[in-house]
Amino acid sequence: MVHMTTAPLDPAVPPPPRWAIRAAHVAALVTLPTGIWRLLLAAGYPVGYNDAGYAAMGFTGWGAVYVVGLSVAGEALALLTIGLVRPWGEVLPRWIPLLGGRQVHPIAVVVPAGFGAIALTVLWTPFVAWWAVPHPDMTALGHVIVGFLYLPLAAWGPLLGAVTFSYHRRRLAVRPE
């Protein structure tokens, strides 16, 4: 068996609770529906848009690069949530240049993850009201479908917040400061 870390995990840190593991994995998945939708838009499919609306959004050229990048970045950030319940969230894997094998300071994780949870909650919660806002650039069916594709994103911030709180309790609460 190949070990991916050189610094030992702190034995005083309890394992993550089962609910936190599940929440971290769900958080990593909530960006997939919109990410796949954006990839389809970038590939030239007007999924949900009427012809004029699709043309106005500019999903070709640099617009396509932008939506692909947005999808990839969103999923990469969502996958970082899993680090809050995995060993690589405590000790960096050896393959990371210059930092691999070092223990991760809990504050270096809790602070950005906490701010991220707040930012994501503020950003995505308004999408719960998607259907209350007219979208004349979309077809009627597209409006409904896109609303359902964005709805999971409203859970991303709260899920990240809950998993971050669990990480904080496990990593910081065991050490007297």
Q: Supply the mean pLDDT for the chain.
A: 90
**Confidence at 5, pLDDT banded by 50, 70, 90:** very low
The predicted-structure confidence for 19-47, as pLDDT tens digits, reads as follows 999 999 999 999 999 999 999 999 999 99
Mean pLDDT of 98-116: 91
The predicted-structure confidence for 41-95, as pLDDT tens digits, reads as follows 999 999 999 999 999 999 889 999 999 999 999 999 999 999 999 988 888 888 8
- Asked if 30 and 151 touch (Cβ cutoff 8 Å), the reply is no
**Distance of alpha carbon 134 from alpha carbon 132, whole angstroms:** 7
Does residue 98 come out as left (phi exceeding 0), alpha (psi in the -120 to 50 range) or beta?
A: left
Answering whether pTM is above 0.95, one says: no
Domain ranges of the chain: 18-171
In the numeric block, the tokens 């043309």 are attached to 55
The predicted-structure confidence for 126-152, as pLDDT tens digits, reads as follows 999 999 999 999 999 999 999 999 999
- Asked if 24 and 88 touch (Cβ cutoff 8 Å), the reply is no
Residue 127, number of CB atoms within 10 A of its CB: 18
pLDDT at 166 over 70: yes
Mean pLDDT of 98-105: 86
CA-based nearest residue to 170, from 27, 26, 25, 19:
19
